Structure 1
Amino acid sequence: MKIGNSIRSARKAKGMTLEQLAHEVGTDAGNLSRFERGLQGASHDVLEKLMVVLNIELSSDQIADSNVSEPLPVKGQVPLISWVQAGCWSEVSDLYAVGDAELWLPCPVAHGPRTFALRVRGLSMYNPTERFSFKDGDIIFVDPDRPAIHKSLIVAKLTDTQEATFKQLIIEDSQRFLMALNPGWPDRIIRINGDAEICGVAIAKHEPLI
């Protein structure tokens, strides 16, 4: 078994989250997640602490295969998740252990540790005549830790649904609205009060050229 799989299995067996184990061994959840998935190495000090905290023994072959001395340059990868996951992202305690993420993508801009990617659904945000336009199937990067301000492009969840919606936030005095960028969209502007939870601010768009 690869060393990352061994660490993950032992962590799960002890009922520990990535955040809890990372705190115990002196690293962060992002580094530990990438180590578990075989995308990054770990220092010998961290590796020894992992064996102590998890009470496991690792073979010499596993340690040799772990690239403990040379971490791989994969910083910035975030999970591509579903709309349902986006709607409950703030409730997820093990943010980096998204077992059913479609894939992990490198975010092209600076972002917070809980950033995720989301595939746009529908054409409510499609307006090719404007600066920002998103068609069905486009991928956006969403940062839950970035403050939402007037005209931010946000992912929000209404209280009557567990799924998220992607819209532009409009703030006028003390009132807040969600607006579709598509000028022909029915019910283009929706007023929200306490019935919406902002799941994050869109900070980038993924546009593969091939």
Structure 2
Amino acid sequence: MDMKEIAQIRLENARELAKQAGGTTQFAARVDREPTQMSRIMGANPTKGIGSKMARHIESCFGKPSGWLDYDHSNGISEDAGAYHSNTAPVAQPIRYFRYPVVSAIQAGQFAESVVPYPSGMEDRHETTDYKAKGQAFWLEVKGDSMTAPAGVKPSIPEGSLVLVDTGIEAAPGKLVVAQLDESNEATFKKLIEESGQKYLKALNPAYPLIHCNGNCRIIGVAVKMQMSL
């Protein structure tokens, strides 16, 4: 195969890994790169190809053998299996899964100061995901309808959903965050916004008022994934 064919195969394989990871943003987190950089090489009209160094890095992050990204896996078995950088053709590697505790709104506040994987007393319930957190992470069960958006508006996060919160991601305006107000011992889940230089916590349900968030609250973490049971 020439380099043009390899570049196209790398792109298709990387896009498939991104689907498995839950999207380009989650893919970027897995390979420790900015989403905008991944969009440039994996978007609908990529402006940059996936070089050999990046290809090997992606393979390592997803538990794939070196050279895996360079071959067509659409038929389940690569016709060039012998060309992998190993003595034998590799078997398919499973996606890695990670376990994080499910916590209450009160327990969520303890994560910001904990120096262990999760504070004592949070061992009872865990949920798994393929997302590898950058910091300590936990699942928070959504209570109430403040994050239920009007019909047809996305995202909408109804009561009972679990959101995965990563304490290692910077909370920028526009992110969905878990925060704790000074006057409350419970965490709240809202969208962080900025207007006229002031930061606020905004519910996705327009029936709820804005909450001022400048010096009177601390951001615990950023929501990166949602799941719910039927």
Same fold (TM over 0.5): yes
Corresponding residue of 2:185? 162
- Where do 5+ consecutive residues of structure 1 fail to align? 1-71
1:118-156 per-residue CA deviation (whole Å, 9 max, x = no partner) reads: 100110000142111111111000001101111100000
Corresponding residue of 1:198? 219
Corresponding residue of 1:84? 106
Which of 191, 196, 200 is matched with 1:177 structurally?
A: 200
1:79-116 per-residue CA deviation (whole Å, 9 max, x = no partner) reads: 11111111222122323354334411112434224011
What TM-score does the superposition give when structure 2 sets the normalisation length? 0.54
What TM-score does the superposition give when structure 1 sets the normalisation length? 0.59
Equivalent pair of 1:88/1:162 in contact (CA under 8 Å): no
Corresponding residue of 1:122? 144
Partner Cα distance (1:96, 1:182) in 2: 31
**Amino acid corresponding to residue 189 of structure 2 in structure 1:** F
Change (3 A) 1:168 1:97: closer
Equivalent pair of 2:102/2:122 in contact (CA under 8 Å): no
Change (3 A) 1:96 1:191: closer
SS of the aligned residue for 1:161 comes to coil
Confirm whether residue 150 of structure 1 aligns to residue 173 of structure 2.
yes
**Amino acid corresponding to residue 168 of structure 2 in structure 1:** D
Partner Cα distance (1:193, 1:153) in 2: 16
Equivalent pair of 1:81/1:102 in contact (CA under 8 Å): no
CA RMSD of superposed structures (Å): 2.1
Partner Cα distance (2:168, 2:122) in 1: 22
Equivalent pair of 2:145/2:158 in contact (CA under 8 Å): yes
Change (3 A) 1:101 1:206: farther
Partner Cα distance (1:193, 1:112) in 2: 25
Equivalent pair of 2:200/2:213 in contact (CA under 8 Å): yes
Change (3 A) 1:73 1:110: closer
Partner Cα distance (1:108, 1:131) in 2: 23
Larger RCO, structures 1/2 (Cα 8 Å, 6+ apart): 1
Among the aligned pairs, what percent are the same residue?
A: 33
Aligned positions, number: 136
